[in-house]
Amino acid sequence: MLPLGIYGWFGYELPLEKRLKLIAEAGFTTTCIWFGHEEEMISDGRADEMPVLVHDAGLILENIHAPFWHSNYLWSESKNDQTKIRQELSNALSFCGKHHIPIMVMHLTAGDTPPPTNRKGLVLIHDLIKMAEDQNVIIALENNEDYGNHHLDFVFTNIRSPSLGFCYDSSHDAIAKEFRGRALEKWGPLLVATHFSDNNGINDDHLLPGRGSIDWHKVMKQFPKGSYKGTIMLEVDGPEANKGFTAEDFLKYAYQKAWELAVMLER
């Protein structure tokens, strides 16, 4: 059975050290962390302490998620914009290399109206992938709700590298338009990371699997069972997280849902 993990943020206002302890106590063995200033330890200048906390909790840090607020700068005609996003993502890659974190997850776009793909963006992404190769890190590009999936196709078509992979987000896949339900079919062979959550078919609700309308049996039929060796990683912080559950009870329930997904993959 694949290892089970959950995102370091799961909907409860607790210090990261406490969240990690509770994640481990619930039975999870892996986690991933947001690498933006919304994570208090990063805004406090204590980012280098985070991998130590993960290790001390008995967990494996599979990946960090790079901030995506400026992702459209990848395709900008502005030199300043491209310099900003290059530095932001380079910092995240350097952090992964320094702390032996194998994967950095990133988005190629942000919002509903991203700029079109262009050669400048492709060159910048190629440079980042070369840096990832040097750092022994894999950049995992995540599918979006729809806008930006053409950019994903564009990059995967034009760049091949052992340091370039795919992060599957089930909730984004379920509410995409043109690409709905097709992410694993299109990019499954490149899969290196997962973000599993449910929704009700309209918004990216981050619900626990089974609490929304996603057909999980269909998802698992498309899953590249033979080639994927990563984690069944939950990315959940939906409304039920803080409604009627303590953090401990929520994580116990989340573990059960992750285990159910893993069992589906075994069949």
Query: The domain spanning residue 200 has which CATH number?
Result: 3.20.20.150
| pTM for this model (two decimals) | 0.97
pLDDT band at residue 255 under the 50/70/90 scheme: very high
**Given a cut of 80, is residue 260 above it in pLDDT?**
yes
233 DSSP β-pair partners: 5
- Token pair 């997280």 in the structure block, residue: 241
Q: Tell me what pLDDT residue 26 has.
A: 98
**Enclosing domain of residue 210:** 4-266
Report the mean per-residue pLDDT for the chain.
96
Q: Across residues 110-114, what is the average pLDDT? A: 90
Would you mind telling me the total number of residues written for the chain in this entry? 267
User: For residues 22 and 251, is the Cβ–Cβ distance under 8 A?
Assistant: yes
Helix axes 119-135, 79-99, angle to 10 degrees: 20
- Token pair 């338009």 in the structure block, residue: 177
Tell me the torsion sign for CA atoms 11, 16, 22, 28: positive
pLDDT band at residue 151 under the 50/70/90 scheme: very high
**Given a cut of 90, is residue 196 above it in pLDDT?**
yes
CA 201 – CA 215 distance, rounded (Å): 11
Q: Tell me what pLDDT residue 116 has.
A: 96
Q: Across residues 25-39, what is the average pLDDT? A: 97
Q: What are phi and psi of 5, to 5 degrees?
A: -140, 170
Please give the C-alpha separations between residue 133 and each of 123, 154, 160, 208, 256, in angstroms, as whole numbers.
15, 20, 12, 34, 36
CA 219 – CA 261 distance, rounded (Å): 10
How many domains are contained in the chain?
1
pLDDT band at residue 184 under the 50/70/90 scheme: very high
Q: Across residues 158-162, what is the average pLDDT? A: 98
**Of 222, 71, 103, 219, residue with least CA distance to 167:** 103
Q: Tell me what pLDDT residue 240 has.
A: 83
Given strand 4-7, what is the order of strands in its sheet?
191-195, 164-169, 138-142, 103-106, 60-65, 30-34, 4-7, 232-234
pLDDT band at residue 58 under the 50/70/90 scheme: very high
